[in-house]
Structures are given as C-alpha cells and as structure tokens.
Structure 1
C-alpha cells in the first residue's frame, strides 16, 4: 500500500530526522536521488544541457546540489536564480565548484530553449497558491521547449495537501518526491501536472496512518472473497439490485453484470427491467414485487437508471443491510433517511452528482476533490466513492482517504458506473466493509477498463467482461 502524508506530518518527520543527523545530510540524500533520476531520464549525462529553475527555499537547494552532481559527470548545468540574494548558499557554491554556471539576467529563456532537461526547484511543499508572474513565465517557457521537465518533490504551484491548482503551475514529465508521497501527487488536477512519480527514500520515520492511501495488488488480493469448501450460494452472499426503468433497462443489465462478476453467490433483481435482465443472465433471481418482497439479501444496490421512481430507493434505505446508492438513487434518496441509517451506506457519485449533493458547482468539486469527498462523507454519514479522473473514497469517520491508482480515461463511457456499482455491491454482500468494498471494486474496475480498452474505445459491457481476467491476475489464480 502506498501512503501519502500532509506537509505538517512530513515537516515534523524531517525535523526529527535532522536532529539525529549531521547538518546537511538530508538535503544530500535528496539531491543524490534527484540526480540519479535525472541521469536515468537523460540516458546520457555527459554533454547534456541542464537548466535549474531555483527558488529561495530548500527545494532550490536540492536542485543546486543535484545539479552539482550532474555537472561533475560532464553535464553543462546552468542555474536560473529567481531570488539571487536568497538562493541556498551551500548548494550554489557546490554547483560553481563543479563547473556549473549561473544565468545572466535576461538570458533564462535562451538557456531553457537549448536545454535537454529543466529541473523545477522553484517552490516545494511549503508553497501555496499559483506561481508568481516571473516564475510562471519560466514554467511556460519550459512547457514550450523540447526539454524534459523534472519537478523537485512536487511541481511548483500545486497545493501539496489537496492537489488543487489555484493558478499557474509547472507541468512535469517526472516528479522526484522525497520520503513519502504527497497527496497532491495522487489527486487530480495536481496528479496530471506531476507526470510520472519517483519516490526517493531519505529515511523518514512516519506514522502508520497518512492522509491518503492507495491500494496495490497484494492489498486487493487479500480483500477479494474466495469460496471455501463449505460455501454455498447463500453463504457467499446475495446482493439485491434495484435498478433500471422502462427508459433505461440497460442500466439494470449492466449493474447485474457487475454484480455477477463480483463474487457474491447470487444476485436478486427487482425492477421493471426483469425481462431484459433474465434474457441476458438467466441465473438472476428476478422479482417485480419490490425490494421488501424480493427475499433475503446481504446488501442492496439501488439507483442506476431508476428514473423518477423514489419508492424502491426509500424501501431499500429502510433496510438493515449495507446499501449502495448510485446515479438516480442519489437524487431520489431522502437525505435525512441516508443520515439516519445504522447499517453501512456507500454513495458513488460523479463530480456533477457530488456538486448537487453539496449544493456547489461541479467545477469546485473537480478542482478540490479531497475536501469535497470528505465533506460528503461527513455530511451524509456515509462512505463516499467520488468517481472521476481520480477516484477517492472517504469514510464517515474522517480517517484516511483511499485513492484508486488504476483506471483509464476510456472508462468515461455510458454504463461504466453501473458495472462498478454492481461489482461494489457484490463485494458488500460478501462481507467487506463499505471502505474495503469500494476500494477493491474501484481497483478491479479500473484495471478491467484498461484491459478492455487496450488503447482503444471500449463499452461498459467490455469492462464487465474483463473483470474475471483481472480478478485472476490480482489473486494470482
């Protein structure tokens, strides 16, 4: 599992470590890792032209010391000092001793245009807000040049704790981050600016729980349900699907499809799309008597393609089993009924639906995804899976938020969310907590999207079909 920590936590860990180390050791560790990453990206260091964009803080010092290491290997290294009187003195002296130079006033653009590599050491994790005009001009020049851009710890201009971009910011091809991931590297829009991320271990002692955590293969493999010799279809869990309408029968089919691939022993379908469901999946237990008369289930999924019929949503919310609310269910649900539930509730909005639930603009949710998912979870006393370019999952207790590292833009297709809802509901029915069911489902669904698309357009049904192969890969079967 990858864990990301806030600036305050990282700073505290750095202070504790520096108190036990000789002066300057931590910066040298960071600079060594940064120089190695730059060398790997260049391929050939000797004769390459490198420009350092150097701010006034330790971030600039990291860049200068790394530049000195690269200059000793034969690179032509030029530092552009944004605040010449405040540049890190030790780093600047090291660069000059190694043969590096400082750009003369007015020549920064020329050096950037000729560079093979530009290193962004303008501001680090202590920065807030967008870049100032002089720095923004250099970032724009670097983006227009043919050089690769490497960010030191975090692209300058990105909010480190949230991934928000509140003004001009550096767009990096590679970000070399030190000690631990920062939330802004894992959450869009900041993640988009970071490019590839390389973590350099500098010896920080960090707490077990961070601000964010990203599941990996081994974590998800441990969560996915496996039947035992004593299992039968009921012991494996039964998931109920209350979805679809005369206008949207396909939503019901896709939700059932996802549920059947999610490991539950049986799927009960309730709604007006029963004929379409049974024609595609004859193993489904179909009822038209409403959720209360459908039979025993261990979890409900309600809302995909439901149209304007609020009755099934209210009936499901009144049950005493875990409930996943999606799509029309989010709009039709009585909000007080959601808050009053004692059994777990999992809500799966996209940014537009989240904005409606919060009473704000979609752009605000997309620009500040982490605060939005936390606020939704707290306001509705539910676990919330916020779908989008970065999928985030927050619990009602305000603990660590999960970020899903899988997925592809090809998943932005009609019905994809219905498949995800069925998959997550099936995992809920198998006994996983709302947080674990959401995290595992998002991970599997994202990989299935990659597998189905393989660089080309794919439909929601392709994603559902790809789930078994992905499941086997994750579990090592």
Structure 2
C-alpha cells in the first residue's frame, strides 16, 4: 500500500472504463473472490492504522462490489477483535447482489459481524468507512444512498472512502449529483483514477492511499499523475560545469504590465530570474521614457526592454517570450507580431483573452506549430472557457477534456490551471495531472509566477520538449505551497519559496528509486 501525497514518482491513471477492463482481466485469471478478499484485507489494514483499537468502526456498505469490499473489511476487522458494525444501504430493493458481494455478505454473517439494514449509526466510533458506491456510480445518488452520504458528512469521526468517495465521478473529479462524501482518507483500489486528483477530487478525498491488489497489467494509462519525478527533466539536463555563464543560461523576455498592472509582469520576470534564466528582460507596455530606467526597483537584476524595440523582431525572437501577464487591452496591439515571430512563447492572462476576443489572432496562434514555433498556453478555467467558446462550468465539468480540446484546437501545449492542473500535449496526445499544490496558491499573481517560471526553465533548456518543462514548472510551483500551514502564499513570497526548492533538482535519479510504501 502506498501513501500517495506528496507524490515522489509519477503514477499511471486509469479511467473508469479502463479500470473495469483491468478488473475483468484480473477476475478471469484469479480464483473466485480473490480480488475482493485482497481489497478487504488492504482496507482492514488501513483501518487498523487509522483508528483506536478501543473504539468501534462503522462501515456503510452499498449494494454492489464496493459494498462487498466493505463487508470483507468488516469480517477481517471483527476477527481481529475490533468492535465492528455494518449498515447495509440500498439492499432492500430485492435485486440480487453481485456474486462476490453475496459471498462476502454470507461470510460476514457467518463470522458473527453485527450487520443491520438501513442507517443505524453507533453511539461512538473511531472511524467510519464509506463502501457505498465506489467506481460503480452511474447516476446521481438518490434515496437511502443520499441519506447515507449526508450522514457520513455529519459524522464526527474520520471517514475512510473505499476506492472513491461515494458520489464522486472517477473520470472528472466532479459530483454525480448534489452530494458526495467528504472523506479524510481514500483508499484507491486496483488503479488510480483521474478524478481523485482534479476538480473537486482533492477536496473530497483527503489523504489518498493506493493498493494495486497485486495485479499487474499492461493497459496504457489514460493520464499521468505528476510527482517529484517530473523534476528529472531539469536534473538530467542541468550542467554543473564551471564554464557556465549568464549567456549560456538563456534569455527570457516578459511582455505585459500595462499601467495599473505592472506587478503581474514584474512577478513573472522575478520568477524567470529565480528559476535560473541567465538574463531576464521586462517590456512594460505603454511605458513613458521617464519610467523606462528600471524594470523593477526591488530586483535590479531585471533589465528594461523598450516597447518600440518590439518592431525589431530579430532583437527578441530568440528569447523565450512570456506574454500577457498584466497586459490589459494594450497587449492586443503586440500580439500579431509576437505570434508571427516568437520562437518559444508562453501565452498567459490578457494575451489569452485577446486571442479569444479577436478572431484574426486565432489562425496566427494555430499556425505556429506548422512553422516550427513552440507555444504553451497557461489559462485558468475562465480563460479556457473564453478560448473554447463555452462556460466555465463546462470547462470544470471535464477538465481533462477541456485541456485536450484546447491543445488540439491550437496545436500547442496547455496548462489548464486549477485544483489538479492539467498538462496537455498534442504531440504525444497525453494528459498529466499535477499532484502538488493547495489553496494557498489561490491568490493574486500566482499564475504570473507560474508563467514566468516556465519561461525561465525554457530559456535554460531550449531543446527539452515544452510539455516536460510545463510539467516540471507545475510541480515545482505547487510544491512550494505544500508546506504552507494556513493562509495564502503571496506571489512575491512564492517566488522565493520556489527559489529555495532548487535543491530538489539535485536529488538522485528518480528512476532508480522505488515508490515509498505506507
């Protein structure tokens, strides 16, 4: 069994359909009931680790195989001497249980487990176990299942969800209806599902554990969960040569910071500098000559780049261009030239809004890849919705699909920001979900820092595929917030926190290490 977060390694993620196919294959090769027995044993072990041996454990078991896993768990805990009670939920409809779940119920009854139909919460419990729906959910919970979910959410004791919190969709991380279990722990069984890590998944899952149940398979993952291994891109291409100098570390140019929005461009530039770019320039839009003496008084290392120089494309097109941070309406004027000439481009914030609002800019963006020009888009959900011509709710309803659609439509790499940021790559047609980060990043300027950090990494590693750099930047950005105990992580402080994490890129080769177990 593995404790997933913080994730040191990348992990394969499998959709509900893929997970069911893997399960069918395992059931066809294993003796009857083996998979459910393994699932129950794994859950029982985790229950013992999470609860006091002197109090009771209450299991709510639904009418499917997830309920069967719970019944095996109950039987094993009972045999270990724990005070166990089981509430059968949704069993009164008269439909027969699946064969494995029926066998689990019979074995639990024979073992003398305290089992009753309907909701009968014990007076006190050290742990409640959600074994109501799991992967088997196909529609919004109703009736007794909804009542059971609400009861779990009102429970004073911690809740452990088996496979998925009931009511949460495995593929999207959204709720199937209006309610889902808020668990403090989730034990994902057989496979890891994308919905655990994006949209509302992290908010409902708590700490995530994983047990493959000893099943090996060759099914291709539907997505990848990014861990610290994402930083191997930086570690393997990092040079320790004493001959390095600022010119060999690459140049980045931040274009944005219209009047009243200067801070966004300065944050992006500070991030590019802190990431290790050799030289970082800032082009503040609509700058007067009198204000062009310095890009950032707090960071004299940053250099001013006059806006009129943008007409001389050869003077900047080889630099990594981070475009749009605090750009306001003024960014629209620059975008045609930027889209035609920038060889490596991070497009963020107001630059994305300009593309969404101006139909003439869309083909310029779409055609860049055919001309050998590389682009990474870094939208938050509202910006993604504007680009896709839909609502923010539509984007959030299936974040993986939205990221893939953006990547396909504009033929470029995409970071769809949010809880469980999604990285989409049209070249490999692969999706990744970032595992790091928390609500401390929900503060003004954190997106500018991500865009600037990516630009700085790209300046240093011009030959590394941008999807790998986007993954590294996302993980790095989130990891800096993981130790924040409370409150927002202010963007200027985030830059410094990220700078302090350069030590992570000096760790031993990730590929030579095995995942930690719990």
> Which TM-score bucket, shorter chain as reference?
over 0.9
Aligned to 2:197: 186
Using a 3 Å threshold, how does the CA distance of structure 1 residues 398 and 474 change in structure 2: closer, same or farther? closer
SS at match of 1:125: helix
Aligned to 1:111: 121
Using a 3 Å threshold, how does the CA distance of structure 1 residues 131 and 415 change in structure 2: closer, same or farther? same
Contact 2:11 2:227 in 1 (8 A): yes
Alpha-carbon shift at residue 341 of structure 1 (Å): 0.7
Contact 1:355 1:365 in 2 (8 A): yes
Aligned to 2:46: 37
Alpha-carbon shift at residue 456 of structure 1 (Å): 3.8
Contact 2:12 2:224 in 1 (8 A): yes
SS at match of 1:161: coil
1:67 to 71, 74, 81: 74
Contact 1:50 1:77 in 2 (8 A): yes
Contact 1:358 1:376 in 2 (8 A): yes
Could you give the per-residue CA deviations for residues 20-56 of structure 1, whole angstroms, max 9, x where no partner exists?
Answer: 2211111111111011011111131xx5322222222
Aligned to 1:242: 255
Aligned to 2:515: none
CA distance in 1, matches of 2:426, 2:144: 43
Aligned to 1:159: 169
Q: Structure 1 residues 344-353 or 11-20, which shifts more?
A: 11-20
Matched, 1:330 2:352: yes
1:6 to 10, 15, 19: 15
CA distance in 1, matches of 2:114, 2:219: 43
Using a 3 Å threshold, how does the CA distance of structure 1 residues 9 and 184 change in structure 2: closer, same or farther? same
Aligned to 2:28: 19
2:443 to 396, 406, 413: 413
Aligned to 1:290: 309
CA distance in 1, matches of 2:64, 2:171: 18
Aligned to 2:324: 303
Aligned to 1:227: 239
CA distance in 2, matches of 1:290, 1:248: 21
| Superposition pairs of residues 5-404 of structure 1, within 5 angstroms | 5-44=14-53, 47-81=54-88, 82-84=90-92, 85=94, 86-87=96-97, 88-104=101-117, 108=119, 110-111=120-121, 114-167=124-177, 168-207=179-218, 209-224=220-235, 225-229=237-241, 230-272=243-285, 274-288=292-306, 289-291=308-310, 292=313, 294-295=315-316, 297-309=318-330, 310-333=332-355, 334-342=361-369, 343-397=373-427, 399-404=429-434
Could you give the per-residue CA deviations for residues 222-276 of structure 1, whole angstroms, max 9, x where no partner exists?
Answer: 4355234243333322222112112211122111101101222222332336445
Contact 1:6 1:161 in 2 (8 A): yes
Contact 1:253 1:276 in 2 (8 A): no
Aligned to 2:497: 466
Q: TM-score, normalised by structure 2?
A: 0.85
1:428 to 444, 454, 458: 458
Contact 2:233 2:468 in 1 (8 A): no
Alpha-carbon shift at residue 67 of structure 1 (Å): 0.5
Using a 3 Å threshold, how does the CA distance of structure 1 residues 3 and 275 change in structure 2: closer, same or farther? farther
Using a 3 Å threshold, how does the CA distance of structure 1 residues 320 and 244 change in structure 2: closer, same or farther? closer
Using a 3 Å threshold, how does the CA distance of structure 1 residues 446 and 29 change in structure 2: closer, same or farther? same
CA distance in 2, matches of 1:2, 1:397: 20
Point out where structure 2 has 5 or more consecutive residues left out of the alignment: 1-9, 356-360, 509-518
Alpha-carbon shift at residue 398 of structure 1 (Å): 6.7
Using a 3 Å threshold, how does the CA distance of structure 1 residues 112 and 360 change in structure 2: closer, same or farther? farther
CA distance in 2, matches of 1:247, 1:228: 41
Contact 2:317 2:343 in 1 (8 A): no
Using a 3 Å threshold, how does the CA distance of structure 1 residues 113 and 147 change in structure 2: closer, same or farther? farther
Q: Structure 1 residues 76-85 or 271-280, which shifts more?
A: 271-280
SS at match of 1:352: helix
Q: Structure 1 residues 266-275 or 369-378, which shifts more?
A: 266-275
Q: Structure 1 residues 388-397 or 208-217, which shifts more?
A: 208-217
Higher relative contact order (CA 8 A, sep 6+): 2
CA distance in 2, matches of 1:196, 1:464: 27
Could you give the per-residue CA deviations for residues 202-228 of structure 1, whole angstroms, max 9, x where no partner exists?
Answer: 122233741221222233144355234
Aligned to 1:444: 476
Aligned to 1:475: 506
Using a 3 Å threshold, how does the CA distance of structure 1 residues 389 and 5 change in structure 2: closer, same or farther? same
Q: Structure 1 residues 14-23 or 1-10, which shifts more?
A: 14-23
Alpha-carbon shift at residue 320 of structure 1 (Å): 4.9
Alpha-carbon shift at residue 389 of structure 1 (Å): 2.2
Residues matched between the structures, number: 471
